[in-house]
Amino acid sequence: MNPKEKFKIALSFSHYNFIYRNISSLKNINILEFGVNNGFSTSMFLNICNQNGGHLTSVDVDDYSGLFKNKRWTFLKSRDDNFSYIKKSIKKKLDVIYIDSFHEPNHIEKILFFYYKFLNKNGSIYIDDISWIPYVKNSYRVNSWNEIINRKTFSKILEIYFGNLKNLKLEFCFDDSGIAKLTKKTNKPLNNPKIVFNSEFSLKNCLRRVLNRKPKK
Ligand SMILES: C[S@@+](CC[C@H](N)C(=O)[O-])C[C@H]1O[C@@H](n2cnc3c(N)ncnc32)[C@H](O)[C@@H]1O
């Protein structure tokens, strides 16, 4: 499949379309991508770099160096947490970081916290696979593992946001397997994630349920 065909397929996924709509007008964009595989997201980012000027660096543990031939593209065959190696390739601040590699919440947190310092103010981090809706029972892609891991990733992003209400803006797209967008509002370093307390499991709420109390109108 050639890059044009890949790009067309990428835009047919609404969650990629969400990213495209957000960044396609940015000039001279600098993008760091984790996770290449079929190259759909890569083709979308390269299309933007071709149109507006800019550069894409893509990282994957598997060798996808032959997938595209483009002077605006650097491919690094590496784990995403090989920090000392990858940071050598970050020559100027980033406008977009896209995380679609190892989908494990603590790993995503580690990646996000390390690369955040290379992100421009007003730049954004997109995290793929945050919706569990496609994977639940009676949905269209039933898979309990993906259901659980995506829900945990979603919660982790809420915790990162809750710890950084002044530093970050958070938006979600729930199409397909979902995308979270975190925008950097300040140049301050990130605070630690903060647990989002859930009153549903509090003693007070248990009593409410036992007594069948309803909210007052
Ligand atoms: C879901 S696929 C990426 C899909 C891609 N964005 C697309 O549009 O086709 C995940 C990719 O992440 C890579 N990967 C998994 N764990 C990784 C890690 N720790 N570091 C770098 N790449 C990793 C896998 O080799 C795989 O190619």
Distances (CA, A) of 197 to 60, 155, 157, 202: 36, 11, 14, 9
User: Model's pTM, two decimal places?
Assistant: 0.95
The ligand 1 atom nearest the CA atom of 43:
8
**Is the pLDDT at 217 greater than 80, yes or no?**
no
Instruction: Give the residue, by CA position, lying nearest to ligand 1 atom 22.
Output: 60
User: Is residue 212 scored above 90 in pLDDT?
Assistant: no
Q: Give, using CA atoms, the residue closest to atom 9 of ligand 1.
A: 38
Atom number of ligand 1 nearest to Cα 79: 20
The pair phi, psi for residue 184, each rounded to 5°, is: -80, 115
Q: Which of 33, 4, 217 is nearest to 126 (CA)?
A: 33
User: What's the topology of domain 3-210?
Assistant: Rossmann fold (3.40.50)
The pLDDT score that the predictor gives to residue 106 is 97
140 CB-contact burial (10 Å; exposed 0-12 / middle 13-18 / buried 19+): exposed
Residue 70 has pLDDT above 80, yes or no: yes
Burial of residue 110 (number of CB atoms within 10 Å: 0-12, 13-18, 19+):
middle
Identify which has the larger pLDDT, 45 or 200.
45
Return the best residue to mutate from 58, 101, 126 for the ligand 1 pocket (most ligand atoms within 8 A of CB). Answer: 101
Cβ(20)–Cβ(11) below 8 Å: yes
151 closest CA partner among 168, 126, 170, 134: 134
Token readout for 127 is 């995290």
CA of 198 to the centre of ligand 1 (A): 33
Q: Which residue's entry shows tokens 């890949």?
A: 6
**What are the pocket residues of ligand 1 if the criterion is a CB atom closer than 6 Å to any ligand atom?**
34-41, 59-62, 79-80, 100-102
CA 167/CA 191 separation, integer angstroms: 9
Residue 60 CA, ligand 1 centroid: distance in Å: 6
For residue 209, what are the CA distances in angstroms to 149, 156, 198, 206? 29, 28, 15, 5
Pocket test for ligand 1, best of 43, 100, 108, 145 (most atoms within 8 A of CB): 100
Specify the amino acid at residue 107: H
Q: How many CB atoms lie within 10 A of CB 89?
A: 12
Ligand 1 center from residue 38 Cα (angstroms): 9
The predicted pLDDT at position 14 comes to: 92
Radius of gyration (Cα) for the chain, nearest Å?
19
C-alpha 58 to ligand 1 mean position (Å): 10
Question: What's the pLDDT at 213?
Answer: 76
What are 82-136's pLDDT values in tens digits? 999 999 999 999 999 999 999 999 999 999 999 999 999 999 999 999 999 999 9
Instruction: Summarize pLDDT for 14-36 with one digit per residue, the tens.
Output: 999 999 999 999 999 999 999 99
Mean pLDDT of 124-152: 97
Per-residue pLDDT band at 13 (split at 50, 70, 90): very high
Ligand 1 centroid from CA 199, angstroms: 36
155-209 pLDDT, tens digit per residue, is 999 999 999 999 999 999 999 999 999 999 999 999 999 999 989 888 998 888 8
Distance between Cα 37 and ligand 1 center (Å): 6
Contact 42, 36 (CB under 8 A): yes
Residue 58 pLDDT level (bands cut at 50, 70, 90): very high
User: Which pLDDT value is given to residue 214?
Assistant: 78
Q: If you search the block for the tokens 């269209």, which residue do you land on?
A: 140
How remote is the C-alpha of 66 from its chain's centroid?
24
Q: How many whole angstroms separate alpha carbon 10 and alpha carbon 13? A: 6
Residue 215 has pLDDT above 80, yes or no: no
